[in-house]
Amino acid sequence: MYLIQFYLPVYDNDGRAFGRARFDEVRSELTEHFGGVTAYVRTPAVGDWEDADGDRRRDEVVLFEVVAPAFDRRWWNEYRGALERRFAQEAIMLRAWPVETL
């Protein structure tokens, strides 16, 4: 089993909030593909980072996670690319690691 997680921004690059429908669409896609998803959307996490110019940036993000029997790197790379375009992001960090369910 693998736990796959990624963060999506709450606001676009102009500071406008993405509508709830945008996040509902991601939840629906992942549920259809994997049979379930957990989305932590009630209290956004705050991420600080430094861009290529050395400027500090701050994002409010929501965390999505999926438990899958295997990690399909090709599928996730394609899906991450689609999310980057949909949410106008240079990069979306996606992480996966093997887990044992009890």
CB 44 within 8 A of CB 60: yes
Domain boundaries, the chain: 2-98
| Encoded tokens for 67 | 């438990």
**Distance separating alpha carbons of residues 29 and 48, to the nearest angstrom:** 28
At 60-99, the pLDDT tens digits run 899 999 999 999 999 999 999 999 999 999 889 999 999 9
**Distance separating alpha carbons of residues 93 and 43, to the nearest angstrom:** 19
**Distance separating alpha carbons of residues 54 and 8, to the nearest angstrom:** 22
Q: Which residue has the higher pLDDT, 96 or 101?
A: 96
Average pLDDT, the chain: 91
Output the CATH code of domain 2-98: 3.30.70.120
The structure's pTM equals 0.85
